[in-house]
Amino acid sequence: MQRTAAATDTIVTCESITRRYEGHGGNTNTTVTALDGVTLAVPAGELVGVSGPSGSGKSTLLHLLAALDTPTDGTVHVAGENTTTLSDRERAHLRLTSIGIVFQRFHLLSGLSARANVALPLVELGMSKSERRTRAAELLDRVGLGDRVMHTPSELSGGEQQRVAIARALATDPDVVVADEPTGELDTETGRRILDLFTDAASDGAAVIVASHDQPTINHMNRTLHLRDGVRTDA
């Protein structure tokens, strides 16, 4: 598989993005600003950490970078596409072809084996069964689950499920990898192995953005963006 971006490209660009949510508090309408005027550029080959306390806007930023949501104000460009102008279907296609996402809650399909979960996006891309099985087994081996390929999520620990989710995110060789607390369920040695995988992805030309409370994970990044109350405090 070939990445669509060259190693010198800026893969992710956010210009003054704000995300507000409308809600209801008591008898009055309320507005929550989860992200406020954040600007960011991530070139190919860079690992960027996102740090900040709970409620600082980390997950909101990752959802915008992963084309799972669009900003209230500002623009987001990912892999050459302005996600704020795309339809839901176009954003879904962009996620499939160009973005690898590691969710905090894994989102594995309970009825599928670890190998089938990892191979799922490759089915959507039309890869042959033998190729996708080989690719999925290779990735599972790299995250230390080479002997668990046929286990379903219920037969795996939380940390093992997290590693399956990470392998799935890397399966399509994406231009962008977005990870929310990817090492949170892992022991120190396994966490290092996962960070090495992210480093390999960056070396191959991906832009990697990782939100984490884990200091060793943040220390592994090339640079760190700090958020507090939805605002960048490192700029």
Residue 30 confidence (pLDDT)? 86
Question: What confidence category does residue 165 fall into, taking pLDDT thresholds of 50, 70 and 90?
Answer: very high
Instruction: Quickly tell me which residue has 């891309």 as its tokens.
Output: 125
Chain Cα centroid distance, residue 67: 10
Model confidence at 108: pLDDT above 70? yes
Strands (E), the chain: 10-25, 28-43, 47-51, 73-78, 81-82, 99-102, 176-180, 207-211, 223-228, 231-232
167 within 8 A of 118, measured Cβ to Cβ:
yes
Domain 10-232 has CATH 3.20.20.210: no
**174-211: pLDDT as tens digits:** 999 999 999 887 888 888 888 999 999 999 999 999 99
Asked whether the predicted pLDDT for residue 7 surpasses 50, the reply is no
**How far is 93 from 164, CA to CA, in rounded Å?**
22
Q: What are phi and psi of 128, to 5 degrees?
A: -65, 155
pLDDT of the residue at 110: 94
Domain boundaries in the chain?
A: 10-232
Q: Please give the structure tokens belonging to residue 164.
A: 């399956």
Predicted confidence (pLDDT) per residue in 52-69, tens digit: 999 999 999 999 999 999
Q: Answer yes or no: pTM beyond 0.85.
A: yes
Q: How many helices (H) and strands (E) does the chain have?
A: 7, 10
CA 202 – CA 181 distance, rounded (Å): 18
